[in-house]
Chain A
Amino acid sequence: MENNIRLYNRNKFNVGVVTPGKPYGQNIVPGGFILVSQDDIDYLTATSNALQSGMLQLDKEKQKELAEQTGIDTENNANFMSDEDIKKRLSGNANQLKKWLSGEIELYTLDRIAEIAMTMNLSANKIQVLQDRMPNYEFIKK
């Protein structure tokens, strides 16, 4: 089977991946990806929680396929979003942002959202929404 599926690590830490073809594993650097086959994806979903929790991500269409298998709503869940999608959500209105952030979001995704938000020019009420969800981050420099 061809290794033509991109497996992304969009976090700020390294993630090691063991696939049947590479028993000693491969490291995916932060922001990087490796090429794997469909068999590898099936193996990963069976042995680990990394794909289901959004720690490792796939291209949009593959992600949809995975969603059908696992029953996770990958369209709206922040854990499965790319940086562009997160940016899009952050530039929406404050009420929608609040609703979106109230979902179950992993800590590393919150970290990514905070990081992206800090590069954007957001309105005061949106910053308040972010601050309420992530009290440990300094969105407004004191």
Chain B
Amino acid sequence: MAIEIFKDSQIVSVATAAARHERLDSNVVAEADKLIKDLASNPNPHNKYQIAQLVGFAVNELQKRDTNWVDQIADVKRVGFGDKAQFQIKLPGVRAFVQAKGATTPRTKNAQKTVSFETIAVSCRPFVNRVELQNGLAKAADLINDANYQMTCAMNRHFESVLIGALNTGKFIAPYYGAGTNAIVQGTFDPMVYHWIRTTGGAAIMGDVENIAKLSALTGFESATNTKQFAEDLIKEHNDNAALATYKSAKVVEMINPFMEDGSDDLVFQKNYLYILPAGIDPSMRPLKVVFEGDVFSEEATNIDDLTWEIRLDQYFNAAVAYGDRPYMGVYEIK
């Protein structure tokens, strides 16, 4: 009987869970393993296509979870293939005037702007030896995990570079952008945090662990020039958690910043940026706009020259920075 794998097949969720190293029922895993082995042991075109489908579906599932960094910072829209996402941006417009009685009031418009942009692709082309696939040496879970990880990292890097490209230009200046020489300087950083506490009632500070740890030294009171007093429990908290949970009422969040590959010191995100995110705003107000067009799709082929079997995975996506009266975000750069 020919095996058919669909997007909602149980094998997809099992493969996804295995790639995430989650705990699974051993019976279910055994069943799924058997299914993949059955497919791989008889590598006719139909079965190879089904494995490629499985990898594609599983990576798609994983992407939706792993790109959570983007969900924190960006306004994310998912659209179907060939569709365009439209991002609404509110422009400053309506104004009131104090004037003489009966004078003509100037008209001001409640204005909106719509932004949409083209997508690009992130693509990954892992290959395995055809024989290794057949005898089960090449594990589908590893293939899924590696492909997903690299695709996610590549996309995240793109999102970050788009955001950084918009910094310190246009309206992305004080108090939304500030810089310090190899340090977080309180006189520069605090007004940026206070700006959001004043505007939206709260803020979160997100950054690499190395830099959020530096915030602890900015707490405490200056009793005399160049000496500071710290509360004892703050010292303990800093020592226990590498950073304080709150800074001037703003929540401090660690940005998960993994390495690009095992054994390299190449980080996914640049560590010298601290993001100050206003609390309680609608995601559509965030300046970084991200669109995913369609799901991850897969194609497979066997190479007759070297007996390798490869899958090509593609996801259409893009990012842009767009805002109206002000960017609802602060970025502090450690220069």
Are A48 and B188 in contact, CB atoms less than 8 angstroms apart?
no
Question: Which residues of chain A come closer than 8 Å to B186, judged between CB atoms?
Answer: 16, 24-25
A114 — nearest CB in chain B belongs to which residue? B169
* Among candidates B165, B173, B177, B182, residue contacting A18 with C-beta atoms closer than 8 Å: B182
Question: Number of B residues contacting the other chain (C-beta, 8 Å)?
Answer: 26
How near does chain A come to B165, taking the closest CB pair, in angstroms?
A: 7
Contact partner of B168 (CB less than 8 A), chosen from A11, A47, A48, is A11
Residues of A within 8 A of B102 (CB): none
**Residue A14 lies at the interface, judged by CB distance under 8 Å to chain B:** yes
Selected contact of A47 from candidates B167, B177, B179, B181, CB within 8 Å: B181
Residue from B165, B170, B178 in contact with A16 in the complex, judged by beta carbons closer than 8 Å: B178
- Give the chain B neighbours of A47 by CB distance below 8 A: 181-182
Q: Are A13 and B335 interface neighbours, CB within 8 A? A: no
Q: Which of B174-207 contact A (CB under 8 A)?
A: 174-175, 177-189, 191
Produce 1/0 per residue, A8-23, CB < 8 A to B.
0001111111100001
Report B139-151 CB contacts with A as 1/0, cut-off 8 Å. Answer: 0000000000000
Q: Measured between alpha carbons, how far is A110 from B178 in the docked complex, in Å?
A: 17
Give B191's nearest chain A residue, CB to CB.
A14
Contact A12 B185, CB 8 Å, known A48-B335, A111-B169: no
Asked if A122 is an interface residue, CB under 8 A from chain B, the answer is: no
Instruction: Flag if A17 contacts B185 (CB, 8 Å).
Output: yes
Residue B226 lies at the interface, judged by CB distance under 8 Å to chain A: yes
Contact B169 A18 (CB under 8 A): no
Q: Mark B149-179, 1 if CB is under 8 A from A, else 0.
A: 0000000000000000101111001110111
CB-based contact B181/A13 at 8 Å: no
Of B174, B181, B183, B187, which one neighbours A30 at CB under 8 angstroms?
A: B174
Comparing A50-58, A60-68, A81-89, the segment that makes contact with chain B is A50-58
C-alpha spacing A14/B169, complex, angstroms? 13
Q: Indicate if the CB atoms of A16 and B180 lie closer than 8 Å.
A: yes
Residue among A17, A27, A107 making CB contact with B169, cutoff 8 Å? A107
Q: Does A95 contact B (CB under 8 A)?
A: no
Q: Are A107 and B167 in contact (CB under 8 A)?
A: yes
Min CB distance A16 to B, Å, is 2
A67-119, CB < 8 A from B: 107-108, 110-111
Contact of A27 with B335 in the complex, beta carbons under 8 Å: no
The answer to whether residues A53 and B173 also contact, given A17-B181, A18-B180 and a CB cut-off of 8 A, is no
The size class of the interface chain A forms with chain B is: 20 to 34
Using Cβ atoms and an 8 Å threshold, which residues of chain A touch B180? 15-18, 25
B186 to chain A, nearest CB (A): 6
Q: List 26 A-B contacts (CB under 8 A).
A: A11-B173, A12-B174, A13-B173, A13-B174, A13-B177, A13-B179, A14-B175, A14-B187, A14-B191, A15-B180, A15-B181, A16-B181, A16-B186, A17-B181, A18-B181, A18-B183, A23-B226, A24-B222, A25-B183, A27-B185, A27-B187, A47-B182, A50-B181, A107-B165, A107-B169, A136-B170
Q: A18-B183, A49-B335, A111-B170 are in contact. List 20 more A-B contacts (CB 8 A).
A: A14-B179, A16-B179, A16-B187, A17-B185, A18-B180, A24-B185, A25-B183, A25-B185, A27-B185, A27-B188, A50-B179, A50-B335, A53-B335, A55-B179, A56-B181, A107-B169, A110-B169, A111-B169, A111-B173, A136-B170
B interface list, Cβ under 8 A from A? 165, 167-170, 173-175, 177-189, 191, 222, 226, 228, 335
Q: Which residues in A have some Cβ–Cβ distance to B below 8 Å?
A: 11-18, 23-27, 30, 44, 47-50, 53, 55-56, 107-108, 110-111, 136
Which 5 pairs across A and B sit closest by C-beta, in order of nearness?
A16-B185, A27-B187, A25-B185, A16-B188, A16-B180
